[in-house]
Structure 1
Amino acid sequence: MHLSTQFWKLVNTVPVVLLLSSPVLADYKWPSPQIDALERLLYEGTEFSGFPIATLATNCVERAADSPSPIAAEWLRLAYHDMATFNITAGTGGIDSSIYFELDRDENVGAGMVNSMNDFFNTPNKYISRSDVIGMGAAWGVAGCGGPVIPYRGGRVDATTAGRPGVPQPQEDLATHTQDFALQGFTPTEMISLVACGHTIGGVRKSDFPTVVTEGEPGVDTDPNGVLIINMFDTTQHYDPNVVTEYLNNSTQNPLIVTDDVSRRSDLRIFSSDGNVTMNSIADPASFANTCQSLLTRMIHTVPTGVQLTDAVQLNPFKIRVAQITVINGQVVLRVMVRLPQPQSGPNPFQITKNVTIFWCDRYGVNANCAGNHTNSASAQIVTFIGIQSPIADALDTHFSTFEFRAPLTNASASSFWFEVTDSTVPGTVVQNNGGGGYVIEQDTLIYSPDLSTTSQVGDTVNYNIVAGVLGNIEPTSAQLNIFDRQPINNTFPISLPLFSTANFTQDTTIASVGGYVFYSTTITINSQGATVDFDFVVNGKDLKLDFIAPVEILVNHI
């Protein structure tokens, strides 16, 4: 149900002062499930379970005390090795997660590959592919080490088999390297820059390349303190041009330049291939950052022909994180959570100065759709500062606060909602109305109740009892739960294909009716915390759906 044009003309007469410097998302309308999911993960960096996956790259942190290479370097390497299967002539390969089927190749040697895959085990979901996460991990890693923000687009499609071999190896000659990069779509000049952009963080493990890194006892991969022997590419673990400047001033420690095994001095052959013209051109920080931003943007968006990527995912300055009619504590409520960004810098970075009020229209009765300009309103019951965000949000000087509403509903229910936002530091009021049409609630006949849903555990298996409500005493002719899980079973590689399964709801007479809703439940198990479910009911001849529900959020109470 949509509001009248006259009503929105009235609402839009409220004086407006722009509170945020974030770009307006001119083409965005809520809901947009894929964009909503991508934006939340890209900037908040948190999985459904509440685990802040992106923070593993924050501050270029090392994986462990005995493994001094940054996690970010492993994520960046994973992305390049996945992309390296691209064939520009055939339009095949690219970042498509085929790397998960290619770990048996010498070109993909290294514990960092499996480490990264394990990092991302629970991150993909219905709207974010495994290959989307690989590209996002590279962007997080670069930003987490102080590098440029890489514009990010989603929509990659996961491969189901291995791609062609294509990763350059240290022992190969310059002609082979040049040919490999050309097939990936890069010129000789771009090859030089891209290698430098990839080798400004991280290093080479002795366990992976024992003829390149020869320190310590033969066959022993750790030093006397038990720390893995890794020769770093330069003297800083920061995304900077030191890998370039140290090469140019002959102080480099880059093992692929100075190794005693001359046949494996691949960086030396590549960097010097044009007489150092390119290396000199990217030696200053601004040139290095701009060049790497451009090349890495191309790299993470190299996909097979026919794959349609989204536009660049921008930070949403007013994000609807949750919007549902549901049952909480025995009462039908309109539950909405919105997220607002605020600067990390400034005199009071942790002070929430904004106030958000929700307004909504009745769905039924004489005031349906705000007839006669009748509206309902409520203030946020729960205001929370989110203290964790992705390295990309950090680079944009942004962290977040959320405002949650749990507005009791009468039999009139709700058809749409909108907001007014004020800021104690800025005069005026901002109306947030989804570009003018309000945030529309398409139906209230079928609802999901996380509050009534439960979990139980037997050994390592968690069972999720999912509860749906149907309005009125009308038995559904079909009540199905569709389960989608991208994750490998038992964390094995090569990976299994995505799991599609179904379960049927039955009426749950142990739950008393609330507000005219009769409840149905089903119990499922899932392989991973990234699994999602969709409700698919037929009630009174109407096909009703609820999309993209994460069962794990019942367990962790994190939405």
Structure 2
Amino acid sequence: MHFLLSISFFLPLFVTLVGANTNGIDERDIMEEMEHIMVDNGGTNSDGFVAAITPCSNYVGFASNATIRGEQTSAQWVRIVFHDFVTANLAAGTGGLDASVAFESNRAENAGLFINDTIQFMAPTISAYLSMADNLALGIVVSVTTCGGSDTGIPLRAGRIDATEAGPAGVPEPTTDLNTALAQFAAAGFNQSDTIGVTACGHSLGRIHYFNFPTIVDESFVTDTNLDGGEGFDTIPDVFDSSVVHEYLNSTGQLGGPLVTAPNVTDRSDLRLYISDKNATMQAISEEAAFQKTCYSLFERMINTVPSTVTLSDPVTHLTWKAVDVALDINSTGSVSISGLIRHLYTTETPPSTVSYTTGSSTGNSTVQLSTTVNGTGTSLYGNTTYWAFNSSINSPGTTTLNFETVSYPVNDEIFVLPTQSSVNTTDKSFVISAAALTSLASSDGMAAILYVPTTISGTVSKQVQNVTMVMTKYATAGDYTLYSGSVTAATAASVVVKVVMGSASSRTVKSKLFVGGI
């Protein structure tokens, strides 16, 4: 029974703009969301993130005639990280990977489609769990993995906070002199060899386009299937490997690319870098293993260069077993149940036909339950996935964990959102939220719901999370629990995360996609 469907009144709300990973979001939830996007690439529970760069030559930008533009999304995802990171100032503790580049697409140093293409594509993945800057870090990691690199090469962390305005200018351009370019990289923490290496690594993927640089790329590259006139840095621009180094050193193929061979000497920025140490760095990374190892290290340093006020999580690793979309429910007599999915990520082994689980409390584990229902399957860069659905009653109050295989997933049955008794109207973006709390927790402050709403802001196609705090009203009791409800309209109905609070107590967060009508 849905207790709240007849409630239609709207309650006061208060709005503040906040960083995407603040305001009581658990680090575990942040890391597990990044793991989800990294791992769930196709089939059940996929959000299509990695599909954008599969195959690596793919382009999912928003320009007209997309299939014949000669653009490459995987290369755009590498380039945008470079442009966001390089204006960092380590001494001042500012800049780095903070998504300030989202406000900078009109600068000459950022010529091309790559900023708005990337930001617009990744905007739906912004939530209370993941900032745009986290998305950018994820983008470069999966680009390298998809295009030929190692799936374990670049440790990925979460917790970046998005800038609310443009950062300083200073991205090196083709005409930038050597000393100025090296000084800019030095401010961001990269020495001469690092600068040469990261430039070669970045130019292993993609092209430079006549449309943006007509003095560098010849107009002959513009064709009916290459409208922007893209010329590759090497002969296989959709493969992440050392070809760009080999072709430069051996004077074969693309000779290192247009920024080595440009007609005007002033445009040969890559050549100036490469020869600045008499090609020593290029020689050192010419072997494939050395190239990959160096690039992984440099890319990791780029994505971990963040403002000094930001603390990143531990590395996010793909999980063999994982709980997904865990939710609690309660009926009119006060009986509490737990439901969700158990995901198994595997490579060569055959997944089991059933999965057992228990719930735990201070007095011990519950009776073993079996999930025999396969809810779906999927594909991943790291293997394949199988999902089992589960739904069973729990001993409440007092349940604290959901346990299966080697996983102990935290449960809070003292105060919780009721997704099956909440709803979202995607047309008018209205939310009806139901929650339960132990009657013994009752506070004079009452209960409030916090909605973390990704909201469009001025000056960019990106979004940032807006907190909407809604007062809730008691409407019933059920056993040991009191039930609360409220309604509100938000700026969007997509990618919203909700939690409830009462005094010092707060629930675990729930994705609004689990609400009736949720997306």
Give your verdict on TM over 0.5: yes
Distance 1:492 1:311 in 2: 32
CA-to-partner distance for each residue in 1:95-121, whole Å, 9 max, x for gaps? Answer: 111112222321111111110000111
Q: Is 1:449 equivalent to 2:418 in the alignment?
A: yes
Alpha-carbon deviation of 1:302?
A: 0.9
AA aligned opposite 1:243: V
AA aligned opposite 1:238: V
Distance 2:226 2:35 in 1: 41
Q: Is 1:281 equivalent to 2:265 in the alignment?
A: no
Q: Is 1:545 equivalent to 2:515 in the alignment?
A: no
Indicate the larger mover: 227-236 or 514-523: 514-523
Distance 1:251 1:474 in 2: 73
Task: Describe how 1:315-334 pairs up with structure 2 within 5 A.
Answer: 315-327=318-330, 332-334=336-338
User: Does the Cα contact within 8 Å between 1:193 and 1:279 map onto a contact in 2?
Assistant: yes
Q: Is 1:488 equivalent to 2:456 in the alignment?
A: yes
Alpha-carbon deviation of 1:500?
A: 2.1
Alpha-carbon deviation of 1:74?
A: 0.4
Partner of 1:244: 245
Distance 1:328 1:400 in 2: 32
User: Does the Cα contact within 8 Å between 2:100 and 2:163 map onto a contact in 1?
Assistant: yes
Distance 1:451 1:485 in 2: 20
Partner of 1:185: 189
Q: Which has the larger radius of gyration?
A: 1
Distance 1:49 1:104 in 2: 36
TM-score w.r.t. the length of structure 1 is: 0.77
Distance 1:231 1:146 in 2: 20
Alpha-carbon deviation of 1:257?
A: 1.8
Alpha-carbon deviation of 1:231?
A: 0.8
Q: Is 1:57 equivalent to 2:53 in the alignment?
A: yes
Partner of 1:380: 371
CA-to-partner distance for each residue in 1:479-523, whole Å, 9 max, x for gaps? Answer: 22212234424x8517575422222333568xx969976452424
Partner of 2:219: 215
Partner of 1:227: 227
Q: Is 1:502 equivalent to 2:496 in the alignment?
A: no
CA-to-partner distance for each residue in 1:62-120, whole Å, 9 max, x for gaps? Answer: 21411333211101111110001112332321111111222232111111111000011
Partner of 2:130: 128
Partner of 1:4: none
Indicate the larger mover: 128-137 or 57-66: 57-66
Task: Describe how 1:44-443 pairs up with structure 2 within 5 A.
Answer: 44=40, 51-63=47-59, 64-148=66-150, 149-216=153-220, 222-225=222-225, 227-236=227-236, 237-253=238-254, 254-327=257-330, 332-343=336-347, 346=348, 351-353=350-352, 355-360=354-359, 369-370=363-364, 375-389=366-380, 394=381, 397-409=382-394, 415-419=399-403, 421=405, 432=406, 434=408, 439=409, 441-443=411-413
Indicate the larger mover: 32-41 or 97-106: 32-41
User: Does the Cα contact within 8 Å between 1:100 and 1:494 map onto a contact in 2?
Assistant: yes
Distance 1:122 1:108 in 2: 23
User: Does the Cα contact within 8 Å between 2:424 and 2:493 map onto a contact in 1?
Assistant: no
Equivalences, count: 481
User: Does the Cα contact within 8 Å between 2:69 and 2:225 map onto a contact in 1?
Assistant: no
User: Does the Cα contact within 8 Å between 1:415 and 1:442 map onto a contact in 2?
Assistant: yes
Distance 2:44 2:252 in 1: 46
CA shift in 2, pair 1:271/1:555, >3 Å: farther
User: Which runs of 5 or more residues in structure 2 are unaligned?
Assistant: 1-25, 60-65
CA shift in 2, pair 1:502/1:518, >3 Å: closer
Partner of 1:524: 489
Partner of 2:29: 33
CA-to-partner distance for each residue in 1:206-257, whole Å, 9 max, x for gaps? Answer: 22112112314xxxx9523573311111111100111111112212421212
Say which SS state the counterpart of residue 60 (structure 1) adopts: coil
Say which SS state the counterpart of residue 345 (structure 2) adopts: strand
Distance 1:306 1:47 in 2: 38
TM-score w.r.t. the length of structure 2 is: 0.83
Partner of 1:463: 430
Distance 1:31 1:189 in 2: 35
AA aligned opposite 2:495: G
User: Does the Cα contact within 8 Å between 1:49 and 1:556 map onto a contact in 2?
Assistant: no
User: Does the Cα contact within 8 Å between 1:48 and 1:529 map onto a contact in 2?
Assistant: no
Distance 1:271 1:354 in 2: 56
Distance 1:81 1:47 in 2: 33
Distance 2:332 2:108 in 1: 57
CA shift in 2, pair 1:271/1:525, >3 Å: same
Distance 2:313 2:266 in 1: 42
Alpha-carbon deviation of 1:320?
A: 2.5
User: Does the Cα contact within 8 Å between 1:79 and 1:135 map onto a contact in 2?
Assistant: yes
User: Does the Cα contact within 8 Å between 1:170 and 1:256 map onto a contact in 2?
Assistant: yes
User: Does the Cα contact within 8 Å between 2:451 and 2:499 map onto a contact in 1?
Assistant: yes
Distance 2:321 2:449 in 1: 31
Distance 2:248 2:83 in 1: 24
Give percent identity, aligned residues only. 26
Distance 1:56 1:261 in 2: 35
Say which SS state the counterpart of residue 59 (structure 1) adopts: coil
Say which SS state the counterpart of residue 91 (structure 1) adopts: coil
Q: CA RMSD in A?
A: 3.3
CA shift in 2, pair 1:31/1:259, >3 Å: closer
